[in-house]
Amino acid sequence: MEINDLLSLNAFPKGYEACFLEGCSLKETCLHHLYYSLQPVNNTWGDAIYPSVLKAENLVDGCCRMYQEKKLVTCYAGFTHFFDEVRRMDLPSLRKEVYTYFRGRSNFYRYSNAENGYLYTQSMADDIKALFMKYGYNEPKYERTFESIPFRQ
């Protein structure tokens, strides 16, 4: 089964940007264009990607900087035992660094619960592992892994 078949309009996070640029060479593999194609015909406004994204000065490595590839990635969730191995003397400073990485404690819990749009991916896990290793610990434990489509990176 193809990713397009797995996705519905409800799967996208609130406020996701639609791309209606038919001249884009990457539209067939982009989540933003898929989101646009799923919109009902009576939808007349919403967040969108502007045509200026295809101007030379806005491209990144010759590609649209808003491009979001349709792909499945491994994600992690369940941070209940995240700090179990951390010694009491290291806990406040390590916890502060982890919360800062997630841009706050509430986001930490959103990623832990894998709320819509908050997917803790392998690249994030590598960053957190580096933080733990800086303090002399192994990477934290996660309760579950799953495959999902990252809407933001």
Each residue of 40-83: pLDDT tens digit? 888 888 888 888 888 888 888 878 888 888 888 888 999 999 99
Predicted pLDDT at 153: 57
Predicted pLDDT at 40: 87
Predicted pLDDT at 1: 44
Q: Where are the alpha helices (DSSP H) in the chain?
A: 3-6, 31-38, 91-101, 105-112, 122-134
Kind plus residue range of the DSSP H or E element containing 146 = strand 144-148
Distance, CA of 91 to CA of 77 (rounded, Å): 21
What 8-state DSSP symbol labels residue 57?
G
31, pLDDT greater than 90: no
109, pLDDT greater than 70: yes
pTM: 0.67
Range in 9-23, 70-84, 130-144 the model is least confident about? 9-23
**Is-contact 121 73, C-beta < 8 A?**
yes
